[in-house]
Amino acid sequence: MGLMAAREAAEKWGISQRRVAILCGDGRIPGAERVGNMWVIPDNAEKPLDGRSMRYPKEKVALVKPFVKWAGGKGQLLVDIRKTYPSELGKSIKKYAEPFVGGGAVLFDVLSNYDMDAVYISDINAELMNTYRMIRDDVDGLINLLSALQTEYLPMDDEARKIYYYEKRDRYNELKVNGDSAINLESAALFIFLNRTCFNGLYRVNRKSLFNVPIGSYKKPTICDTDNLIAISNALKKVTIVCGDYRESRSFIDKDTFVYFDPPYRPLNATSSFTSYTEYEFDDTAQRELAEYVQELDKVGAYVVVSNSDPKNVNSDDNFFDDLYASQQINRVSASRMINSNAGSRGKISELLICNY
């Protein structure tokens, strides 16, 4: 029987070298021994089953759910994302960071199912982060405003609803321009109201940073979900909420941190881009800068997962992310395209889950 290095095992099993080292350290590879600062493994050893997917309790139900619908939200991919959670999450890994928090599906899954010492979330969408803060800090006031909006809106006929919606949209944009987006309860209530009543729950702004999504056609939208808002408020009590660039998370992240990045996706084509949820574009240069930041966190020892679109859905020769994250483990998972103005274009596509372990 011969021996192979962790690097050889990683290539043989299609996982990262760091993941091999973790498996060795956990005693998951029979016959593996540490020699100096490296692991040696029997060359006939088989790849262990991934205990990360088996240890998540199937009967566990999330206690909180996202308070907004969000383009690219990860609710439908949670089963696949959970399989990437580090095995020591909630044990030795007691910190969680999500710098592109968006609707927060993964955040709320972690908060519902793991005992974390510290959690950090951020986004550059000031109105979104204001809403997170208002839910955390003044949920009763927020519920009062949302209840009033719901009571007024639901009995209206379609024409009255349209007038009401655009009046509230104008007021929301007025607050965006003239209000204090850091501490504005009315803005938070309107943010949720518009999200619940606009077309497809889409959040989009124009070059002037004004929200411009038209009214949707929901017959009885839930504008005020009181129980869930209270549950979210309780879950967020110890969460650090930041409006800012993802790189501001650096001082929070260390070797005991699980980090999930869900940046604006790289568009598959000219008509599939839903990245303009702020006035700032997230182009290929920005994607490269994020990959460099992931490499920086990898050197710190943090556990990092990145989501993104898979260019190979439309061009099998497009290796943008395969090249960008060549040193990481790239997993392709199936997802439904949930927001598209052309219903005929909805269907299953491949998306990427990129791990550094």
pLDDT at 271 over 60: no
Distance CA 326, CA 304 (A): 14
- pLDDT value at position 181? 58
Question: What single string gives the DSSP state of each residue in 114-133?
Answer: ---SEEEEEES-HHHHHHHH
The pLDDT assigned to 66 comes to 94
- Distances in Å between the Cα of 221 and the Cα atoms of 14, 125, 157, 274, 328 are 46, 24, 14, 23, 42
Q: What is the mean pLDDT of residues 58-66?
A: 62
Tokens at residue 273, please?
Answer: 């881009």
**pLDDT tens digits for 201-211?**
888 988 888 99
Residue length, the chain?
Answer: 357
**8 A C-beta contact, residue 16 and residue 328:** yes
Q: Are 127 and 176 in contact (CB under 8 A)?
A: yes
- Would you give the distance in Å from CA 261 to the centre of its chain? 6
Higher pLDDT, 11 or 112: 112
pLDDT for residue 301 is more than 90: yes
Q: Which of 14, 41, 18 is nearest to 30 (CA)?
A: 41
- Cα–Cα distance for residue pair 212/196, rounded to 1 Å: 14
